[in-house]
Structure 1
Amino acid sequence: MKKLFFPLLIITFILSALSHFMHWGAELEFGFAGLAILFAAGLLGKATESVAHYAGQRLGGFLNATFGNAAELIIAIFLIKEGLFDIVKASLTGAIIGNLLLVLGASAFVGGLKFKEQKFNVHLAGQNASLMLLGIIALFIPAIFVKTEHISEHDTMSISIIVAAFLIFAYIGWLIYSMFTHKDLLEDHVDTQADHGEKPAWTKGMSVVFLVVATVMVAFISEWLVHTLDTFSSRFGLSELFVGAFVVAIVGNAAEHSAAVMLALKNKMGAAVEIAVGSSLQIALFVAPVLVFISLLFGKEMNLIFTTIELAAIGVSVLIATSISRDGSTTWFEGKLLLIVYVILGVSFYFV
């Protein structure tokens, strides 16, 4: 299977490109893009694992979250250009809850079936919990004030810009804190020891090259897949909210899904948590605020005010993810709980 991986990756990518540009129909476009993104995400996961061998699990997980969110950011920019702000916010909501519930849940569940208990840095878990709460506060407070005090659209945008700027400032501070000033405190020293005796798949240079190539492929395939969503949603009677929060979000975060589960299966839960929770934090503290400023470049103002349903979904996701991960350990049962909450939210969004 390893020998067939790269040929299958190239074949599915070419078929996905041909079906998109030659208009073979939404069904074939969706099918080929879905297959292609699975292989591209697999390459991204393998490249991340190889980079983590050289750079450490935290930096490897951070790179995976960043490169994985590149697809989400690119998709959102295209949607903003079209003025589809509701789908953008729904996809951001889906990305946050998807990473906290689906990615972290699947990683904890699958890894827990193989290992009785998986541990990771408790200091990192605590800091992640605090940052997740900051993200919730930053989204909840403006929404409550705007909706209860009937603040004007101009002032709503002003609030969004100010909050977005401080969220970006907080995220930059977190990077400095976690990567430089307190790096040793937050590192998983046990898990970073030469991959438990395993050799990396590629050299350091090739690992970075494959990481970039896989990210570019995921971004292209994600865009092609988005173009099939209108037909897909109308044919199956799905709402824009459900498509944005679940379909687009799952597609945009396919890379994190595969990489986190692969790492959990190798008992590297620290890296899996860094991917799942780190990606959610990056969406809430960096991607969403940046999109507010990007919308201004297009001459279209997208505020940071989410709907009550979206805020409730993000709130419960943060609540249970924080509760489960704060002690620095996970089991298959805790992973199952996260997945159940994700299913409950999915069913509820479906009927909106």
Structure 2
Amino acid sequence: MNQKLFFTLVIVLTALSGWAHYFTHSAGLQFVTTSAAIIMLAGLLGKATENVAHYAGERVGGFLNATFGNAAELIIAIFLIKEGLFDMVKASITGSIIGNLLLVLGLSVIAGGLKFKEQRFNPLLAGHNASLMLLAVIALFIPAVFLKQLHAERTETLSLIISGLLIVAYILWLFFSMVTHKEELADQARAEEEAEGHMWGKGTSILILIVATVFVAITSEWLVHSIKEVADSLGWSEIFVGAFVIAIVGNAAEHSAAVFLAMKNKIGASVEIAVGSSLQIALFVAPTLVFVSLLFGKPMDLVFTSYELAAIGVGAFIASSISRDGSTNWYEGVLLIIVYIILGAAFYFL
């Protein structure tokens, strides 16, 4: 898309969503315009992050893309916590994890696989990612198993302990992967860096990252104000809205960046964005939200429903199974998308 046209769309949709929020009483119009604005702003975040990655390196760039890509979802979740919509928050966490593992990774593998017969990336990194996802599944599974044996106060305490440990594990993983074992986990199949697509300087890219994040925060609050009314009018459950609607809107940055990188034969960076984003949600964002909830005087626990745990477990299993050998093809992407659609249908009829 032409750069000038892209910026024009971002400005127009953001202004339109502001008009709908402040000057209309239509929750449907507010929801549609705000979702469109967030998707465009998330795309702007992804483009700015890709430019920063050009200067910072592929692994750091993938981490930044995952981080700023998750900014929209984190901000939306904080506003949902403020409103006391814990079920929707947990569903959005579930949707983020399976959306990145299945939808983002699946689309990336298909897009890259249709252009290149086989794409390869570091299998050692894939193995570590699989182990970390297993840790996340275990950490989310334990509170649900012990729920019946614990009082509410002890459940909250257990959630805080697990959250603290997950944050420590994630920080240590960043140190391990980017400092002590940086060379071993580098993308061995990295293609030559292409000059095209890096239109902005480092300073401009960082400024755009900051400005876009601020506007994502503003539009996210507008989205939260309309989403419950829209869900009720359409007969959608909170768990479906959180797991699929919010997750797809919030993951727009990862969608675009990961797919475009795969089409440039940089599947390692795509995997870093998709799987790295899921790990960041499970090991950092979800635990952080537990601590954030304390600031609003409404403690949130880490007790997920059996449906959510099953979805996360299934997503982690098939994504690990497909990516563990360090190579991908388009058919493996199709398998990931099929599993995502199956889960979507199940959540819709729940």
TM-score class normalised by the smaller sequence:
over 0.9
1:47-95 superposed Cα distances (whole Å, 9 cap, x missing partner): 1221111111111111011111111111111111222111111111111
- The runs of 5 or more residues in structure 1 that have no matched partner are none
**Shift of residue 250 of structure 1?**
1.3
**Shift of residue 215 of structure 1?**
2.6
Partner of 2:76: 75
- Alignment partners' CA distance in 1, 2:327 and 2:204: 33
Q: Which amino acid aligns with 1:229?
A: I
**Residues 189 and 268, structure 2, Cα contact 8 Å, conserved in 1:** no
Q: Which amino acid aligns with 2:164?
A: A
Q: Which amino acid aligns with 1:16?
A: S
**Shift of residue 199 of structure 1?**
6.4
SS in 2 for 1:76: helix
1:102-129 superposed Cα distances (whole Å, 9 cap, x missing partner): 1111111122111111212211111111
**Shift of residue 189 of structure 1?**
4.7
Deviates more, 1:19-28 or 1:231-240: 19-28
SS in 1 for 2:236: coil
**Shift of residue 166 of structure 1?**
0.7
- Alignment partners' CA distance in 2, 1:200 and 1:13: 24
Identity %: 66
- Alignment partners' CA distance in 2, 1:165 and 1:159: 10
**Shift of residue 269 of structure 1?**
1.1
- Specify which of 310, 313, 338 is matched with residue 340 of structure 1: 338
- Alignment partners' CA distance in 2, 1:70 and 1:350: 26
- Alignment partners' CA distance in 2, 1:16 and 1:159: 40
Q: Which amino acid aligns with 1:107?
A: S
**Aligned counterparts, 1:211-226, within 5 A:** 211-226=209-224
Q: Which amino acid aligns with 1:48?
A: T
Establish whether residue 57 from structure 1 lines up as the match of residue 58 from structure 2. Answer: yes
Q: Which amino acid aligns with 2:40?
A: F
- Specify which of 193, 200, 205 is matched with residue 198 of structure 2: 200
Aligned residues: 349
- Alignment partners' CA distance in 1, 2:147 and 2:16: 47
1:212-244 superposed Cα distances (whole Å, 9 cap, x missing partner): 223333333333223221222122111111111
Deviates more, 1:111-120 or 1:164-173: 111-120
1:272-315 superposed Cα distances (whole Å, 9 cap, x missing partner): 11111111101110111111111122221211111111100100
Establish whether residue 175 from structure 1 lines up as the match of residue 153 from structure 2. Answer: no
The change in CA–CA distance for 1:254 and 1:173 in structure 2 (over 3 A counts) is same
**Shift of residue 322 of structure 1?**
0.4
**Aligned counterparts, 1:161-172, within 5 A:** 161-172=160-171
SS in 2 for 1:267: coil
Q: Which amino acid aligns with 2:265?
A: N
SS in 1 for 2:184: helix
**Residues 166 and 287, structure 2, Cα contact 8 Å, conserved in 1:** yes
Partner of 2:5: 4
Q: Which amino acid aligns with 2:23?
A: M
**Aligned counterparts, 1:151-300, within 5 A:** 151-191=150-190, 193-195=192-194, 197-198=195-196, 200-300=198-298
- Alignment partners' CA distance in 1, 2:132 and 2:26: 43
Partner of 1:35: 36
**Aligned counterparts, 1:91-130, within 5 A:** 91-130=92-131
Deviates more, 1:84-93 or 1:206-215: 206-215
**Residues 46 and 68, structure 2, Cα contact 8 Å, conserved in 1:** no
SS in 2 for 1:137: helix
- Alignment partners' CA distance in 2, 1:161 and 1:98: 25
**Residues 44 and 210, structure 1, Cα contact 8 Å, conserved in 2:** yes
- Alignment partners' CA distance in 2, 1:226 and 1:37: 12
The change in CA–CA distance for 1:24 and 1:82 in structure 2 (over 3 A counts) is closer
1:149-181 superposed Cα distances (whole Å, 9 cap, x missing partner): x21112111211111111111001001111111
- Alignment partners' CA distance in 2, 1:289 and 1:22: 37
Q: Which runs of 4+ in 1 moved over 6 A?
A: none
TM-score calculated relative to the size of structure 2: 0.95
SS in 1 for 2:228: helix
Q: Which amino acid aligns with 1:145?
A: F
- Alignment partners' CA distance in 1, 2:337 and 2:11: 32
The change in CA–CA distance for 1:181 and 1:226 in structure 2 (over 3 A counts) is same
Partner of 1:313: 311
**Residues 103 and 260, structure 1, Cα contact 8 Å, conserved in 2:** yes
The change in CA–CA distance for 1:82 and 1:36 in structure 2 (over 3 A counts) is closer
TM-score calculated relative to the size of structure 1: 0.94
**Residues 41 and 258, structure 1, Cα contact 8 Å, conserved in 2:** no
Task: Calculate the aligned-residue CA RMSD, in Å.
Answer: 1.6
SS in 2 for 1:208: helix
**Residues 17 and 30, structure 2, Cα contact 8 Å, conserved in 1:** yes
- Alignment partners' CA distance in 2, 1:120 and 1:223: 38
**Residues 101 and 317, structure 1, Cα contact 8 Å, conserved in 2:** yes
Deviates more, 1:250-259 or 1:129-138: 250-259
SS in 2 for 1:299: coil
